[in-house]
Structure 1
Amino acid sequence: MNKLKTPVWLLVTVFFSAVTYTKAQKANPEAPVEQYLQDSVRVQKIFSNISIPFDISMNDIEKQINGTLTGLIYEDNSYTDDGNDNFKCKVWKRSNILITAGTNDVFDFTVPIKVWAEKGIGAFGLMKYIPIEFEMNLKFSTRFTIRPDWAVQTFTTPNGYEWVTKPKINIGFDVPIDFIVGKIIDNNHSKFAKSIDDAVAKNLTIKPYVIQAWNAASQPYQVSEEYRTWVKITPLEIYMTPLITAGRNVRSALGLKAYTETIMGEHPNNPLPVNNIPNLKLVSNIPNDFQVGLMSDVPFSEAALVAKKMFIGKTYDFKDGKYKIEITDLDIYGSNEFLVIKTDIKGSLKGTVYIKGIPVYSPVKKSIVLTNTQFDIKTRNILAKAAAWLLEGKMVKMIEDEYGMPVDELITYAKQNVESAMNSEYKKGVKLSGKIESVLPDKVYLTPSSIVAVVLAKGKVELKVDGL
């Protein structure tokens, strides 16, 4: 009967394997508590400047002025004022006022008028008052300004005149008196100018339109329906540049200094509309540096799936191969600011260990990576007694070096969503126009359901409001 002969080397291998198996240490430390610093992410408020350019056509200015100045625009009911000039008159606007030229904030315009007047003519205490009627075009130059209280203010000065029909009196034959009336017009021209300024001050204001822009800018707008992400702007101050002319248009820009913040979750509460706004600050130029936080939301289930593909089945050896462990499963959750990787292992050590690190966004890898990675303190305490060789850091360092969740595609998607929202009419008559120019890493947050990477997007944004 032949006996089965087993090679000595195989017996030795089985023996040592059995010894190794029986000597495998077990690790079952208490898990780090799962808790989160916030339920949802609301990115810290960031200062931004939003430009609100506006063009006003001179046709619109003419329309405003003509709507303000109608009918009788001046009257003098006394013969004895202005040094007993023996002159009364009434002045009506004959047709529409026309703006003829503009340079920066100064405009030249013509006021067509019809005049009824009575001029006293006589000598030696005998005076005859003769009514006259004539038409002329008064010319003015005016400078527009907006006061800090948002009132429109004009400074109008005479700029000559031209006759349409010259004044004359009939004393059996026509006697031209344009040289006499012209002198009176010269003396009263500045009064006409003041009448225009008074009418503008009383009737023109842009404050209601600015309040409209302020309230429109304050409404949260959605930048991602899928990730329930909103951008909210909170205006703080408002600026304005001097008026300038360009062709038949008048241009300026308002600037909002505001907080911008990004919010995930339900629609943020709409702020109550304001009825008043801060005083205007006049500046030479409007800064236009818009900033907003872009979010990439990675669910823990997805983050764990990425980690499993990277590490399950991977074997680590220690002490020149004396000890070996293999990762068999893992899970991921948050513990305050730390991301915890619950790792099941077998080999020279069997059981569960907990590795934790602080997640950050790496612009080089364009991924969420771990920093300050280490075994949890309760895991370290057990390993110090059962498997001190595992504390040499090789496994932890490899996980820190290799682990990363690519979020560049999500950030690009968020950037596209914000730009799309910027360039749309998100409320009737209110349009945003802008572009994101750079993206810089900011912070990573842990919520009960996900890892949220935030990057700071910088660019330029304009807000356009119909009618402003």
Structure 2
Amino acid sequence: MPKLIPVVLVFAFLILLTSCANSQKITTLKPEPDDAVPLVYENTPSFINLPISIKLKDIEKKTNTLLSGLIYEDNTIEDDNIEMKIWKLAPITIENNHGIGEEKIKTILPLKAVIKYRIGTKKLGVELYNTKEFNLNGMVTLLSDVNLTNWKLNTTTELKSLDWVESPTMTVFNKNIPITYLINPAVKIFRSKIEKKIDESISKSMDFKPNVIAALEKICTPFQLSETYESWLRIAPIEIYSTNIKLKNDTFLLDMGMKCNMETLIGKKPDTKFNANTIILKPVSKIPEQITANIAAVSTYQEASKIMTKNFYGQEFGSKTKKIKVQNVAIWHKDSKMIIALDVIGSINGTIYLAGFPQYNEETKEVFFDKLDYALDTKNKLMLTANWLAKGFVLRKIQQSCRYSIKPNLEEGKQSILAYLKNYSPMPGVFINGKMEDIQFQKIQLTNQAMIAFIKINGTVNVSVDGLK
């Protein structure tokens, strides 16, 4: 029995040696990440075309809301010898004048006017005046030139004709006496008042800014592209461009464009960057129909690490009896390179560090790491303890898993964006439609906190306003 004890000890010692040989602990120095600073990256502005169409009937409806009942009143006769009240008798109609080579709108205004006109003088403190009262009931036709200034549709209106529904009268001895042959020259007395009132009402009814700003605020509110990846699209407008307004048939057409920054962010819903006070409307002669959207897809290192950890799940690296399994992956930025930390178990236990440059494969839609190699300290430790792991063929096998496809993200992002181009209504009366071509990858930029993938999208966008609010 005592002779068996040394034998048992020898076997135990051999088992211990074998165990140590099969599983060695490696302790490597961690390449510390760069200091965490605010996320700053280069974003190429996007240009989005926003053609807006508004029907004349909407302008007509709003103008009638603004002009109702008594539309003008002047109760002071002393300043210009005229006292006047004008009522709108029926709804105003606004239509295209269809003139050759001109863009004018025609406004027909049914009205009633009571005008007091004072003739006379004041001499030596004695007033010698004769005041006449005119009762007018007719249909006024006005033509207006149209232009866009400082977000507003401005008109220059001219009274073209006045057709009397009833013969104009003058009150003489409490009786209404027809004075048709006298009143036409007197129309000049109040025509400027009518023209001005129409211009003011159309300008108020066609102030684009509240509608456009409200629509832009909705569009620029970050919206979720993917619930799975917690990705959000955020649009930050820089400038708004506009051509002059055009009248076609029964619709006003306004070509607008927006210069903006677009980005996708991972994680919780980001804050909006929309600020109505900084938006400026700049006039331009022409805006292209095709849009170009340059989107910065922000992928945090934490999120990328999760995806790569899934890629390594269940895989073994090595040969014969010398193998390792990757349990966890973490990546970060260091001196313009990506550091990839692999927590491994098996023949080697510990953390090995790789360094490389992220690249993108256009065909497979994958992010991979070029010139991937062990970090210097890791390589030295492996040469001493696990030369087999430091060899190139093992590294190449590991490199194959150090990649992840963003194709699902791109496709899901495309489908999410398309949903906002199919009669999407960010607010009542505003509808967005459009189409989008394939997403084109541009480049990758590294920051201290995330990898930024820049992509470009071409397409068209149309914004229609159906009923001004």
TM-score by length of 2: 0.69
User: For residue 232 of structure 1, what is the aligned residue in structure 2?
Assistant: 234
CA contact (8 A) 1:74 1:192 kept: no
CA shift at 1:299, angstroms?
Answer: 5.3
Task: Flag the 1:407–1:196 CA change in 2: closer, same or farther, 3 A.
Answer: closer
* Local SS of the residue matching 2:439: strand
- Partner Cα separation in structure 2 for residue 225 and residue 41 of structure 1: 23
User: For residue 14 of structure 1, what is the aligned residue in structure 2?
Assistant: none
User: For residue 247 of structure 2, what is the aligned residue in structure 1?
Assistant: 245
User: For residue 408 of structure 1, what is the aligned residue in structure 2?
Assistant: 407
User: For residue 312 of structure 1, what is the aligned residue in structure 2?
Assistant: 317
User: For residue 325 of structure 2, what is the aligned residue in structure 1?
Assistant: 329
**Identity in percent:** 22
Task: Flag the 1:397–1:312 CA change in 2: closer, same or farther, 3 A.
Answer: closer
CA contact (8 A) 1:295 1:414 kept: no
Does residue 1:293 correspond to 2:288, yes or no?
Answer: no
Unpaired runs of 5+ residues, structure 2, are: 1-20, 121-127
CA shift at 1:371, angstroms?
Answer: 0.8
Picking from 62, 85, 95, the partner of 2:90 is 95
- Partner Cα separation in structure 1 for residue 208 and residue 34 of structure 2: 48
CA shift at 1:262, angstroms?
Answer: 1.6
CA contact (8 A) 2:52 2:463 kept: no
CA contact (8 A) 1:431 1:464 kept: yes
Deviations 1:75-110 (A, max 9, x none): 5976996xxxx9876443332221132467521112
User: For residue 453 of structure 2, what is the aligned residue in structure 1?
Assistant: 454
Does residue 1:68 correspond to 2:70, yes or no?
Answer: no
Does residue 1:111 correspond to 2:103, yes or no?
Answer: no
User: For residue 368 of structure 2, what is the aligned residue in structure 1?
Assistant: 369
Task: Flag the 1:50–1:463 CA change in 2: closer, same or farther, 3 A.
Answer: farther
> Letter of the aligned partner of 1:312 in structure 2?
F
- Partner Cα separation in structure 2 for residue 257 and residue 422 of structure 1: 18
1:129-140 alignment runs, 5 A limit: 131-140=133-142
Deviations 1:280-327 (A, max 9, x none): 222334453333234678654653553577773558xxxxxxxxx965
CA contact (8 A) 2:317 2:398 kept: no
Task: Flag the 1:327–1:446 CA change in 2: closer, same or farther, 3 A.
Answer: farther
- Partner Cα separation in structure 2 for residue 79 and residue 299 of structure 1: 81
Deviations 1:417-444 (A, max 9, x none): 3333555858654765454423233327
CA contact (8 A) 1:221 1:230 kept: yes
CA contact (8 A) 1:121 1:129 kept: yes
* Local SS of the residue matching 2:146: strand
Task: Flag the 1:77–1:249 CA change in 2: closer, same or farther, 3 A.
Answer: same
- Partner Cα separation in structure 1 for residue 313 and residue 67 of structure 2: 78
User: For residue 308 of structure 2, what is the aligned residue in structure 1?
Assistant: 303
Does residue 1:418 correspond to 2:417, yes or no?
Answer: yes
- Partner Cα separation in structure 2 for residue 88 and residue 375 of structure 1: 94
User: For residue 12 of structure 2, what is the aligned residue in structure 1?
Assistant: none
CA shift at 1:363, angstroms?
Answer: 0.8
CA shift at 1:246, angstroms?
Answer: 3.1
> Letter of the aligned partner of 1:156 in structure 2?
T
Deviations 1:172-194 (A, max 9, x none): 99986434321222565344323
User: For residue 147 of structure 1, what is the aligned residue in structure 2?
Assistant: 149
User: For residue 12 of structure 1, what is the aligned residue in structure 2?
Assistant: none
- Give the superposed CA RMSD: 5.0
1:115-264 alignment runs, 5 A limit: 115-117=113-115, 131-148=133-150, 150-167=151-168, 177-186=179-188, 188-198=190-200, 200=202, 205-264=207-266
